[in-house]
Structure 1
Amino acid sequence: MQHRISVGTLVLNENRLLLARHYSPGRYDFWAPPGGGVEGDEELQTAAERETFEETGICAQALRIAYIDELIDSDGRMVKFWFFSHYLSGEINVHSNPAAEERITEAGWFRQEELPAGHVFPAALRDDFWCHSFSGFPAPIKLPLLKSIF
C-alpha cells in the first residue's frame, strides 16, 4: 500500500472560507480548500502555503494544524494535515496551476450558509469547522478515517 503526506489550508477572509472546485466530467465534482502533496524535504507549512498559491493565486500564512485527516483509496493511504491559515493577499486565479491534471475549474470565498451544494471535503466544513475556527484551533483535531468517494 502506498502512503502519501498531503497538506491543505483553511483560509478565512472576513469569515469566508477559500474553496476550489475539482471537476472532471463523469469522474468527480467536489469542492475543497487548496492543498496537495508535500514535495521532497519541504516543511508542511511551506507546502500548504505553496499549494494554496499554485491552486488559487492566494497568499496565505499557515498558522497551526487544525485537522489531521486520513483517507484510503485505490492508490493507498493519505494523511492530510489541514492548517488553520491567515489570508495575506492576492486575487483568485485558478489558471496558473502547474498541476493541470487536478482539473480545478473555479474557486471562491464562502460563508457557512453559502457553501456549494454537493460534496465539500472535508465534511467538517459544513458544520464543526465554524465553531472550531472561532476558538482558533488550540489543538489539532483528528478526523475519522474515510474511504475515498472515487
Structure 2
Amino acid sequence: MFAHRPKQKSPTRIIDDQVYLRVLITTHRIASGENFLEIVKRYSQDSLQPGDIVVVSSGAVRAASGADVDLGALVSAMSRILGVQSCVARADSRGHVEILAHTPAVDKLLMKQVLLDNPLGEEGSFTPLCLVRKTDHEEGKEQA
C-alpha cells in the first residue's frame, strides 16, 4: 500500500499585488481531550511575528475539543494568548473555503482567497496550523 503524498503547494499567494507568505506548522497527531490552545501556543509561538494571522484547521479543533467547542471564544483566546489575530477555517481540495470564526481584524474574504488551495492539514500531513504573513518580498511571485 502506498501512502498518499500531498501535492506541494506554493508557500505564497498573491492577492491584489500583495504577497502573502503561508508558514505551515507541523504538529503531532492531535488526539481527543488535548488542550488545543496549548497546542497552538507550543507549536507557533517561536515563529510568530507582529501582524501574523494564525489560521487553524477546524478538523484539528474538532479532534482535540469535539464538535461543541465555541469557535468564537477559541479565536479570541488564541489572539489574547499569542498577541496576533486568528481564525478557524475549513477548506477542501475542491477550492471550497469557509472561515468559521475569526477575530475582528481578520478580513474573512481575504483569508478565503489565501486558503483557496487548502494548505492546511492535508491527509497525513500533520499541518493543522498556518501563519499568514504579509510580505514585501518579490520571491514567489512567479509561483502564484
TM-score (norm. length: structure 1): 0.29
Q: Which structure has more RCO (C-alpha within 8 Å, separation ≥ 6)?
A: 2
TM-score (norm. length: structure 2): 0.29
Structure (1 or 2) with the greater helix fraction = 2
Structure (1 or 2) with the greater strand fraction = 1
